[in-house]
Chains A and B, each alone.
Chain A
Amino acid sequence: MPQIVKKLTQKTETYIFIVILALSFLIELRSGQFFTSNNLVDLASAMIVPGLFAIGAFMVIVSGGIDVSFPALASLSIYATTSTLLNANYKGGIWLPIVMTLAIGALLGAFNGFIISVFNLPPFIVTLGTSSVFKGVMQGVLNSKQLATIPKGMSSFGTSALFVATNSKSGLTSRMPVAIIALIIVLILAYLILYKTMSGRGIFAIGGNETSAYRAGFNVKQIKFLLYVGVGVISSLAGLIRVCMMTQCHPTNMLGMEMMIIAGVVLGGTAITGGAGSLTGCMLGTALIVIVQNSLILLGIPTFWQDCFLGLLILIGTGVSASQVMRNSRMTKTIKIRRAA
């Protein structure tokens, strides 16, 4: 078998890709509506916020930790920005909101990073606590309420289109939001950092064996700290885009997303224990979940069944990769038995 095919069949990413294709074709068969331009644009649009969250979650999982605070972080960042700008009667463009939101996100991320790296505490528990703290600050200190209108600069950003796709048959149109550029930029940056910088390789190294990373000379504390700052920035960006696209700020809207995002990352082949996984897989896994969440209706499956479907998807997906792992570890241990004399 040619080397490349062999390599591909060993990767989870390949299987997820095949599942996505199969699902897409099934939906296309049933409804004729999957591969239409406006549906594809809708899907891409739906990918933006989960995709951004997934990139952040992916990087943390690769480093050997789990972050469950990112939706709370994002919500707090964007709520603080939006309400401040509303109160100041802000009339300007999108750039100030971006700067403000990302700055707050960086600060909150630094809070996470500080506690995790300086005190060497397990990220899962720390972010469990900080998630609560961020929520409390937003709802308690800032007394968050639903903001039905947001500064025009933000809403026009959220509603502006890169291009519009029209479905010739049904006449439906879908906007490709300008925000997709943000996803693409972050994806490229993440790729460059993770694969082209030593600090990025350090994230993989830490996930593989943290002690070895120290001994090799990686500045583990610094890498971890900056990682969480980065995740804070990316997550707050996702929150900003969400609010702009919805043209209103519902403070608790994103809370609770953390588990599905992590599920998407893991479906794509990222090991929950750290050190292994790819950006491609992370995006594919998230895409699969987004497709299920958005296009199941096209299969004639009522939305009621969505959660059920997602649950089965996760169970089957993780089950398959778990049995693969089992099979691989058995295989590497067999011995060549000597032929009888």
Chain B
Amino acid sequence: MAQSVLKVVDIKKSFAGVEALKGVSLEIAPGEIHCLAGENGCGKSTLIKIISGVYEPNSGQIEFNGKVHTKITPIEAIMNGIQVIYQDFSIFPNLSVMENLAFNSELANKHKLVNLKRMRKIAKEAIARINFEVDLDVKVGTLSVADKQLVAICRALMFGAKLIIMDEPTTALTRKEVSALFKIILDLKAQGIATLFVSHKLDEVFEISERFTIIRSGEKIITGNTSELDNKKFTFYMTGREFEDISFTPKISDEEPVLEAAKLGLTGYFEDISFSLHKGEILGLTGLLGSGRTELALALFGMRKADSGTIKINGKEVVLDSVRTAMENGIGYVPEDRLSEGLFLPRGIGDNVVISEIDSLANGIGILDRSRKSKEIARWVKKLSIATPNPDNACSTLSGGNQQRIVLAKWLSRDPNVLILNGPTMGVDIGSKHDIHMILEKLADEGMALIIISDDIPEIMSTCSKIMIMKEGRITATLNPKETDTKELSKYMM
């Protein structure tokens, strides 16, 4: 049996008395494609940082190709063929592709002077390894996310890498780009290079990995062959709970639609969008990244004003030219990236919850009514079960699932007619994901109309009452989830 390229045995790590890893073991064979899965905060990032030498374990053993180490430095890890690609790709957006590729090796070889010829040669060799066609002289900042990732992968391959660790590599990629990435991972396998990638998306685990490891609360729950895994087992291992798969049946009222769009268009992004939305409906809007779905959502929220077509709210035509106008018409929007768009992380939880309705918690000239404010905050913390000992604590102290609840609370406190949610459970652990779905379905039952934008097909299928698919700026199909399946959806998306 071949020497495993990486073997860690019984790794323990604590930070200030809190045990992050309680004795985790992991083994990866040469060329193996292994998925590391777990909820946010389970310890997978810590494990990776130990493997790559950034952290030192408190106890346990690390073996590279059969040789045992008790502690390693980042350079040693690199020397042993371990390369990590972080979520931000560690690139220099202001510099050229060539420089991004060549810097690491120039520095490792202790070159002091810039030799453009040598650097170009290095860069060319690097991109040839995965047949990546790119102009070496463009600034990396102008590339698409997928291309930036490819630059990071090319760079990772330059040092005789034996194991590439990718941290949530598919977060910002379109379906096509994910397929391209997986093809590259298979190419790497053929070259004998193993891949360890961190993901919590079940369909990806199934699609690409051969073996998987699931970590929960610092402990390894299970390692196994992907062929022996299924949906239910995966969820159970990840959360320790079992969930039923219920699909959503809306109580749609026959009244006139809450929201009606007719031939809505925004030059350069989408056109000819028409649909209607009733109270109690959950409309799923899906499409590949770049299909115009986010821009449509922003236009419905007043962030980008549509330049053709009409929007009617409760039968009355409105022009949504600003966020305030949209809000005054009862529209709310839970953004895609809650960390940079939805939350004020260093600020208190309470401030985050009430900021959108803060004018109503003050008198006519803007003086805050503090007791009303605290009551309102307490009400929402309770209603959405936000787990915090103190609403003055900074938002950054919470987990992803709880942070998402805060963003929800912010909008629910305004009692909107229409709530648009862009990727409502992205980066949220499975337990919270389920809870958030329950919350959304309850809201629909109570009469709210929801639009969910997501590329998580299982999510769309189970929570929505109607699915609208966009491709390249137009609607290609409107389907009923009970009468369709994943295959048909993909057909209309691609």
User: A and B: direct contact (Cβ < 8 Å)?
Assistant: yes
Residues of A within 8 A of B (CB): 195-201, 204-205, 207-209, 211-213, 215-218, 275-276, 332, 334-338, 340
Among the listed B95, B113, B114, B142, which residue makes an inter-chain contact with A205, where contact means beta carbons less than 8 Å apart? B95
> What mask results when residues 273 to 304 of chain B are scored 1 for a CB within 8 Å of chain A, else 0?
00000000000000000111001000000000
CA gap between A211 and B86 in the complex, in Å: 11
B491 sits at the interface (CB 8 A): no
Nearest opposing residue in chain B for A217, CB measure: B107
A213: B residues at CB distance < 8 A = 92
Q: Would you call B268 an interface residue if the criterion is a C-beta within 8 Å of the partner chain's C-beta atoms? A: yes
Contact B90 A211 (CB under 8 A): yes
The answer to whether A212 and B91 touch across the interface, beta carbons within 8 angstroms, is yes
Selected interface stretch from B63-71, B457-465, B466-474? B466-474
Q: Are A201 and B290 in contact (CB under 8 A)?
A: no
A-side contacts of B95, CB under 8 Å: 201, 204-205, 208, 275
Complex contacts, B484 vs chain A, CB 8 Å: none
Q: How far is the CA of A316 from the CA of B147 in the complex (A)?
A: 36
Bound: A196/B116 CA distance, A:
9
With an 8 Å Cβ cutoff, the count of chain B residues facing the other chain is: 32
Contact of A338 among B90, B94, B113, B471 (CB under 8 A): B471
Contact B472 A337 (CB under 8 A): yes
By the criterion CB–CB under 8 Å, are B93 and A196 in contact? Answer: no
Give the Cβ gap from A83 to chain B, nearest Cβ, in Å. 39
Q: In the assembled complex, which residues on chain B have CB atoms less than 8 Å from the CB atom of A200?
A: 114
- Answer whether residue B272 sits at the interface, using C-beta atoms and an 8 A cutoff: yes
**B383 close to chain A: CB less than 8 A:** no
Q: Which residues of A contact B292 (CB under 8 A)?
A: 335, 337
Cα distance, A144 to B114, chains bound together (Å):
45
- The 7 A-B pairs with the shortest beta carbon distances in the complex, nearest first, are A338-B472, A334-B268, A337-B473, A275-B94, A217-B107, A208-B92, A208-B94
Quick one: CB contact mask for B79-118 with A, threshold 8 Å, 1 for yes? 0000000101011111100010001101110011110000
- List which B369-415 residues lie within 8 A (CB) of chain A: none
Residue in contact with A216 in the complex, picked from B90, B271, B290, CB distance below 8 Å: B90
Determine the residue in chain B with the shortest Cβ distance to A274: B94
Chain B min CB distance to A102 (Å): 23
Q: Using known A-B contacts A216-B103, A335-B269, A337-B472, determine if residue A199 contacts B90 with beta carbons closer than 8 Å.
A: no
The distance in angstroms between the C-alpha atoms of A336 and B290, with both chains bound, is 9
Are B474 and A207 in contact, with the CB atoms below 8 A?
Answer: no
A223 to chain B minimum Cβ distance, whole angstroms, is 11
B91 → A minimal CB distance (Å): 6
- Pair A199/B472 contact, Cβ less than 8 Å: no
Evaluate contact between B99 and A337: CB separation under 8 angstroms.
no
Asked whether B197 is an interface residue with its Cβ less than 8 Å from the other chain, the reply is: no
A337 touches B474 (CB 8 A): yes
A-B CB contact pairs (8 Å), 12 listed:
A198-B113, A200-B114, A204-B92, A208-B95, A211-B88, A212-B91, A216-B90, A217-B107, A218-B103, A218-B107, A276-B94, A337-B473
